[in-house]
Amino acid sequence: MDDKTFEELRKIVYNLSGIRLTDQKKALVSARLNKRLRALRIDSYNDYLEYLINDREGNEIIQMIDVITTNVTSFFREADHFDFLKEIMISWVNSGYRRFRIWSAGCSTGEETYSIAFTILNSIPTYADMDLRILGSDISTDVINRAKKGEYDEEKMRNVPYNYQKRFFIRTIENGQVKYKVTDFVKNYIIFRRLNLSYFPLPLKGPLDVIFCRNVMIYFGSSIRESLVRELYRLLKPGGYLFLGHSESIIGMEVGFKVVKPSVYLKPSVEKDEE
C-alpha cells in the first residue's frame, strides 16, 4: 500500500470511527485488508479505496473497521477493577438500592461485559428484587455478534474462577472441541449493540451507575477523547463510577471527576458539589 492510499484510508477511518491509524499501523492495516481484497476479488489497494468511496450503503466501511480493529480482551482483565465493582455493588445494595444500569463501552467479544455480570450476580445473594441491565457496545459488528453468542473456547476460561464456570456457563463438546456457553440466566441481564463512541451526543439515556470504558480511548485523538469523557460524565449519575484502562488517564481534562484509585473515577454527588 502506497503512502497516498494509506493516508486516504486513514482519513476515512478517522472521520467515520474516530480511530487514529498511526504510520506504524500501515503494515498491519495492509495485512488485514488483504482479507477484504481477496473476499471482494479486488486486485489493488487503490481499487479497494475506490470501492470503499463508492459504497453508498456503507456496508464495506463496517467490514473494513471490523477487519482492522484490534480486539485484545479476556475475562476479568485488570482484575482489581472487578474487586472494586464488587465493593461498590455490596455497598449500594446494603444502602437499599435495587436498580442498576451499567455500560461496558468497547466490549469487544463480550468478556468484559460478562465479567461485570458474573461479579454482580455473585456478589448479591438474591436477584428477585434487583432491576439490573447491562449494555455492551462496540463499533465492530463482528465482535458484537460473537458477544451475543457468548461462546468461548477452553483457553479463554483461564481467568474465570471454577465456581463461576460451573454457575454461569454450560460446558459442551462440539466436533471434539470443548466450548463454554454463557447461560441464558446471565444473558437475560445484558443487551449488546453496535455503537460508535466518536459520534456525539451518544445515543444513550442516563443516568448510569457504572461505566467501563477501558483501553478504548487510546485509539482516539485528544479532542475526541475529551469529548468522550465529557459524554461519560453526562451519562453517569451523581455518585456513579467510571473505569478506564490502567494505561489511560483523564488528568488535565477539566471534567469534574474525582480520582478514587488508579483508573477509577467518581462523579461527585450533588451534595459534594454544593459544599
The residues assigned a catalytic role are 32, 138
Grid cell at residue 93: 445494595
Q: Three-state SS for 213?
A: strand
What is the secondary structure of 113-163 as a DSSP string? HHHHHHHHHHHSS--TT-EEEEEEEES-HHHHHHHHHTEEEGGGGGGS-HH
**∠ Cα 207 236 183 (to 5°):** 75
Grid cell at residue 131: 432491576
What is the secondary structure of 166-185 as a DSSP string? HHHEEEEEETTEEEEEE-HH
